[in-house]
Amino acid sequence: MPQNYIPIFVFLLVAFAVAAGTLIIAKMVRPSNPEKVKGMAYECGIEAQEGSRQRHTVRFYIIAILFVVFDVETIFLFPWAVQFKLLGVFGLVEMLVFLGILVLGFAWVWKKGALEWI
Amino acid sequence: MIEYILGYLHSDVTPGEAGNLFWVTVYVLLVFLGISVGVIFMNWFERKVMAHMQVRIGPMRVGPHGLLQPVADALKLIIKEDLMPAHADKIVFWFAPVCVVMTAFCGFIVVPFGRTHAITDMNIGVLFMLGVSSLGVLGVIMAGWASNSQYPLMGSLRSGAQMVSYEVAMCMSVVSAVMMTSLVTGTGTMSMIGIVQAQEQQHMWFAFSFFPVGLTALGVFAIAMVAETNRAPFDLPEAESELVAGFLTEYSGFRWSLFFLAEYAGMMAVSAIATTLWLGGWLRPFPHLLGGANWDTAFSLVPGLGFILLGALCLFYAVKMPKLRSMRGNLLGLAGFGAFLAAMGLFMLLPGVRTRVQDIFWFTIKVGFFMYLYIWYRTTFPRYRFDQLMKIGWKFLLPISIAVVVLTAVIGVRQELLALLFSSWFGGRR
């Protein structure tokens, strides 16, 4: 049913037109007196010492990696979820093995303290 | 032309399925208009409800009972100067709000407001909706990165980590709902319309299937969706006490209001998923307990009568208003609004209209319930710390959602499982 997917493009086009259009309209209406002070990054009233493009805590990367693992897992669950009644006990056992490996990994990650936020 | 339109009103497929680009465009524009009006109304409603929960009266000045306050705010935001930090990445800074709005609205492509009231119906509807709603994090990260300032970057990183963590639990609970669609027919479906029809067939909203299991899945989803949309008590990215305004710090004027629009549209989108998956989508309450033609007619009269009641309420308060010269505009406005609502209610009572409108009405009521919960949470719960937030997401919601998936599967195939166990235990002894 390819025609079911065509509305996505219509919708994206309309959404883009609305968002960009309102920004352009706002640009025509609003005043614009840029100054040096107005262009400074927000920093509690003092001048920013350095830019923000610097290192950040590794926790965020760990969360991202964990997310990839578990989200791919759920994507694999969906095809089985649709057919699980037909696949019956066989599918259930297969999926339990798959889930079991992931849960083991999850338990290990938990034990290792990767989920702690210090 | 009119015949063409009237002819379409009796069709029973979505415009996407019919492949009719004209109706697709009309539906897209209608959905856009509806969501925008919904956001405006939510803005007013949230302030009013929060105010009354905190024993204040909230906006009262602009329009009767502050009804025009959101419009005034939008006007103010349009004519406000829009600042961009000198060191910002100009293109990404400009594109971030556009991207957020596009992704937040896109989810509504597959939301079924009724059997035919959806822009289109895909066989991967739920997956599409989850994918699109999680794309929103991209815009947030873009906003934080492009600002080239400390607070926005920190806020967007937090927001990204938070959305990503709760996404997992959210997807897992959705899996359990998708599994429930296959209970009667044997094959499940991921199309949003198909899911509601499965609930109609099973005579049961999935929230109440396998009694505590469905409700637990809905609970996990209801918590995760609050975190997913960065709302209180999980509004860490915008925690004003620590991060000024999170990724919104450098945004002002209309760019900021695009983020606002996207936030509320996203809230409605996830509420729509929850409604479709667990609360029976457009189905009216008790379709089988109170079945039959008489009850059908009675329930189909509810939307029209509700609107007439609202109109009568507006007129009542217009009459009760102090008779001052300065209040005349407000009085006329409120009375006119009441008359408009009552006229809409009368229109909805027409036999041809009411059968098609009531689906949208029930769907909106259910979504409105979740929206009210959002406001209620915001006034009730204190904000979590970031480590607590991560703990809830990974150590509490994720194990529960995995357990829900396994339980649904085991209960779903219990007969075959029991048969297998019996045959292997007792069959061996013979």
- Mean pLDDT of the region A28-39: 77
Residue in B21, B187, B250 closest to A42 by CB: B250
Determine which of A11, A70, A104 to mutate to test the interface with B (most B C-beta atoms within 10 Å): A11
pLDDT band for position B334 (cuts 50, 70, 90): confident
Element (H, E) at B254: helix B253-278
pLDDT tens-digit profile of B226-251? 988 888 788 877 766 677 777 787 78
Residue B332 lies in a domain: no
Residue B384 lies in a domain: yes
Would the pLDDT of B158 be above 60?
Answer: yes
What's the total number of domains in chain B? 1
CB B106 to CB A15 under 8 A?
Answer: yes
Would the pLDDT of B430 be above 60?
Answer: no
Range of the domain at B160: 2-283+350-421
Closest Cα in chain A, distance from residue B343 (Å)? 30
Would the pLDDT of B414 be above 70?
Answer: yes
pTM of the full structure? 0.87
Residue B168 lies in a domain: yes
Q: Which of A17-31, A94-108, B108-122 has the highest mean predicted lDDT (pLDDT)?
A: A94-108
Give the per-residue SS3 of A37-105: CCCCCCCCCCCCCCCCCCCCCCHHHHHHHHHHHHHHHHHHHHHHHHHHHHHHHHHHHHHHHHHHHHHHH
Residue in A12, A18, A78 closest to B178 by CB: A78
Chain A residues in contact with B32 by the CB 8 A cut-off are 14-15, 18
Which phi and psi (to 5°) does residue B10 adopt? -95, -5
Would the pLDDT of A58 be above 60?
Answer: yes
Cβ density class B276-297: b for 16+ within 10 Å, e for less: bbbbbbbbbeebeeeeeeeeee
Chain A residues in contact with B152 by the CB 8 A cut-off are 52
More confident residue, B296 or B19: B296
Q: What is the pLDDT of residue B262?
A: 87
Which bin fits A113, alpha (ψ -120 to 50), beta or left (φ > 0)?
left
pLDDT band for position B31 (cuts 50, 70, 90): confident
Residue B430 lies in a domain: no
User: What separation in angstroms does the CA of B124 have from each of A3, B114, B323?
Assistant: 14, 18, 58
Residue in A59, A84, A103 closest to B179 by CB: A84
Residue B324 lies in a domain: no
CB B250 to CB A41 under 8 A?
Answer: yes
Would the pLDDT of A86 be above 70?
Answer: yes
Would the pLDDT of B192 be above 60?
Answer: yes
User: ipTM of the predicted structure?
Assistant: 0.85
User: What separation in angstroms does the CA of B88 have from each of A46, B141, B148, B322, B426?
Assistant: 18, 14, 5, 52, 73
pLDDT tens-digit profile of B91-130? 888 888 888 888 888 888 888 888 777 888 888 888 888 8
Residue B189's SS3 state is coil
pLDDT band for position B372 (cuts 50, 70, 90): very high
Residue B209 lies in a domain: yes
- Mean pLDDT of the region B196-215: 83
Distance CA B265, CA B259 (A): 10
More confident residue, B149 or B346: B346
Residue B318 lies in a domain: no
The domain limits of chain A are 2-46+55-112
Q: What is the pLDDT of residue B429?
A: 55
* Architecture field, domain A2-46+55-112: Up-down Bundle (1.20)
